[in-house]
Homo-oligomer: A and B are copies of this chain.
């Protein structure tokens, strides 16, 4: 398997965690999101992934894009260890946590959005960072409520083994720290994030351990 990735991409980070949790060997193909006007926009890459984003997975010629779709694909094609829980209700609850991050938080803050925002409205660095942290803080506070109010939360977001939700949570906490957003009032989020960071799979997936890290 080949993973088209960028060390700092939150979506690529999610998939790297899933691959390492599954114990799957993969080759990292770096796509530099800032160099050459954004290598994700190069014709070859855009043909592979018309969204011109990372990650993309090449599984023996089968191209899979969008981080949550890739994680579901990996779970279906390599079921052990499972990254989704066993019942429909549990999967729904776990997916909802993942989607609060992957749909309602991160997309507001990724590189192309920040670039368009600052260019369109001529924002200062301070205004851009306020926008960034507004959504990160709102998203993580929502996740905190979902985790703290539900007995299905365990050592990890859902039960005592890592799931797709944890693959999303840790990169989002990483981003919050990188942009110095507030982490006040997030005891469950921070406890689970710390649990995850103890695991080798999460460590190997971290931005600073990627071949393209700067």
Closest chain-B Cβ to A112's Cβ sits at a distance in Å of 9
By a CB distance below 8 angstroms, the chain B residues around A50 are 142, 145-146, 149
Interface residues on A, range: 35 or more
Bound Cα distance from A146 to B52, whole angstroms = 11
Given A53-B104, A66-B95, A91-B72, residue A130 in contact with residue B134 (CB < 8 A): no
Number of copies of this chain that the complex holds:
2
* Contact flags A66-93 to B (C-beta < 8 A → 1, else 0): 1011101100110000000000110111
A103 at interface (Cβ–Cβ under 8 A)?
yes
Interface residues of A (CB under 8 A from B): 50-53, 62, 64-66, 68-70, 72-73, 76-77, 88-89, 91-93, 95-96, 99-100, 102-104, 107-108, 113, 116, 120-121, 123, 127, 130-131, 134, 142, 145-146, 149
The 10 closest A-B CB pairs, nearest first, are A50-B145, A69-B95, A73-B92, A76-B88, A66-B99, A66-B96, A64-B92, A69-B96, A103-B103, A65-B96
